Every structure is written in C-alpha cells, then in structure tokens.
Amino acid sequence: MRRVATWLSVAFVGALGLAATITALVADDDGKSAVPARGLRVTTVPVPRCRDGQLALATEMLGGSPFVVLRHVSGPTCDLGSLTVVTTIRDQRGERAPIGDSRDVFTGEISAGVEFTAGLLYKAYCDQKGPLVASITAGDLTVTRTLAIHGCFNRGDIRGD
C-alpha cells in the first residue's frame, strides 16, 4: 500500500511539472504565443498615418470649462504621429490673453469612438475687453471659439487672483 501511495505521489508531481512546462512553452506572461509555429513568419503591420478627413477638431464646454477635442471621425485606426497643437486667445483689440495651461501635442493611435481632450485654462488681464476668441490649430485642422472672461488679473500680478 505504501508503494502505491509513493507511485501516486510521484505521478502527481510529474503531471504538475509537465503541465507547467507545457504552459511555459505555449504562452508568455500576457497569454500570447511565446514562439510562433516553426516555419511561420510573424510580421507586424504598422498603423498608417491619419489622412485628411479622418480627424475633426472641436471645442466643447465640459463642466463649465472649455476643452479642445480631437476626434476620429472616419476610416480605420490611424497614427497621429506627433500632432502639434497651437492655441492663441485674443481680446477684441487683437491683444493676446494669457494661457495658463493647454496641451501642445497629441500623439499616438486613434480609432473610431476615440477622442483626445485637453483642458484650456486662461485668464484675461483686467484691462482686456471680452469676449475673447480662442483659435486652436492641430496640424491642418483649425477651430475657433468665443470665450467669456471669468476673472482677471493685473499685468504685474503673477499669481492671477
């Protein structure tokens, strides 16, 4: 009886070792195939760059604050590369208003139903007359939006209370 129990224990440990070995050979940590089948060549197809008409730029008010929104509107997934975003805010005289924070680049892949957003923080000088006009350009796309003045600061005041 002792001999049978010993053989069963050895068989059980061997089965566990075999299962672990097979699992390690078949899958890596992400559950993907670690080694392609012999004779198969694995190639990755790069995502093409975004073309005209695949993207749209907009501004939206979210929670009372303006946001820049870049959307994928048509075609397959595409790569933005490094899409530079330039934001300018001017008052009615054409003078620039200070921008506190705005994203200056969108990067990566974008696909249907995906949008990149960036908050647009600004505050006018107290002697500027509103409404302000924001002009945002991302690549070949441009959008403008009228913005209200919510608070201001004096030109010498760095804090911007």
For 10-49, write each residue's pLDDT tens digit. Answer: 444 444 454 455 555 455 444 454 555 666 777 778 899 9
pLDDT in the model for residue 18: 47
**For the segment 38-72, what is each residue's pLDDT rounded down to a tens digit?**
667 777 788 999 999 999 999 999 888 899 999 99
The backbone region for 133, taken as left when phi is positive above 0, alpha when psi lies in -120 to 50, beta otherwise, is beta
- The β-bridge relationship of strands 115-122 and 78-90 is unpaired
> pTM value?
0.66
Domain that holds residue 140: 55-153
pLDDT in the model for residue 128: 92
Domain identity same for 34 and 67:
no
Domain identity same for 24 and 59:
no
Number of domains in the chain: 2
